[in-house]
Structure formats: structure tokens, C-alpha cells
Amino acid sequence: MPEEDSGKHFRMDDTEPRAMGLPLSWFRTSESIDLRWVRHPYRWVSWRLEVRRRGPYAPRFEDFRRP
């Protein structure tokens, strides 16, 4: 039986479902996926082009307005 540790570590169980040898629980997240860009695909594409052009100086998607 593994010792309980207060630090964060990956849990591995012999009976846990796996994909390509890795436990599926490693890939689950408790955070929801942000899909706001789906509502405005043209704005998202324009924003991505701006990010590509300006790099780290580009505005966040929430603040982006095409001139």
C-alpha cells in the first residue's frame, strides 16, 4: 500500500482505464473548457492573426476589437 504524501503527485492504479499506457485520470480536468470564441469565429480568427502579428503585445481576446 502506497504511503500518503502531502505533496502533489500523479495517482496510478493498476485497474484504472488507460490510453496508450497512461491513466485517463491524468488527462481529465475540473475546469471547464473556454469556448467563447465559438460564438464569434470571425472575431477569433482576426484576433489570432493579430496575435501572430504583434506577439506578446497583442490584446487579450476579451479586449480585442477590430479597427
Which tens digits make up the pLDDT trace of 23-65? Answer: 777 777 777 777 777 778 888 899 999 999 999 999 998 888 8
In a domain, 13, yes or no: no
The set of cell numbers assigned to 48 is 489570432
With a cut of 60, say whether residue 2 has pLDDT above it.
no
pLDDT value, residue 4: 59
42 belongs to a structural domain: yes
What pTM was estimated for this model as a whole?
A: 0.46
Q: Looking at residue 49, what is its pLDDT?
A: 93
Domain contains 52? yes
Question: What pLDDT is stored for residue 51 in this prediction?
Answer: 94
**Do the domain assignments include residue 21?**
no
